[in-house]
Each structure stands twice: as C-alpha cells, then as structure tokens.
Structure 1
C-alpha cells in the first residue's frame, strides 16, 4: 500500500483545480481509503483554511 498527500491552499489554487488534481490521480489507482483534515490559519485581519487529503491506494 502507498499514500499520496494533497494540500489545498485557497490563496494558491482554485478549488476546481484541486478537485481535478485529486480526481485525476484517483482515477489511475486502486483507492483503498481517503482521509481528510482541515486547519484554520491567520489572525484577526484575515483567516484562511488549509485542507489536507490522504489517499491510501494500491
């Protein structure tokens, strides 16, 4: 088994491009499981979120 990590930073990439990147990868492997997490970043002047995705595949 192997893992592939994906990270989505809103300020670097559009959500559609991130989804396309993940979908393209998952279409080429046998996916066993997918885990995700989200973290907030920033301060009182601006907040953002980072999404992490772990794909476990064969």
Structure 2
C-alpha cells in the first residue's frame, strides 16, 4: 500500500479516534455498566469509526 502525504493524516486521525473511543468504552463499561446509554453510545461511535477506517483501507 502506498499512501500519499495527504492520505496519511486521515489514517492517523481515524486510528487516534478508534483508540480514544476504545479507552472511553472500556471505562464506561466498567463504571456505568454494559447496558448504560453512555456505554452503548460509545460502542456505536466506535463501530462507526472502525467502519470508516475499514472503508478507507479498502479504497487504498
């Protein structure tokens, strides 16, 4: 895979958000419970960013 300089920042931004959301999701799950609205919201957001990242990778 050959990324141009303009593509690289998008990949880094997506990976940063994925990691951040993972950490927030784990904390929310431990503190609020797995069925709490905050935990579910973070889980949906994480899914969205993973989907965006996978779509980005498939188009490279």
**TM-score with structure 1 setting the length:** 0.31
Please identify the structure whose Cα radius of gyration is greater.
Answer: 2
Q: If each structure's helix is expressed as a fraction of its own residues, which one has the higher value?
A: 2
Q: If each structure's strand is expressed as a fraction of its own residues, which one has the higher value?
A: 1
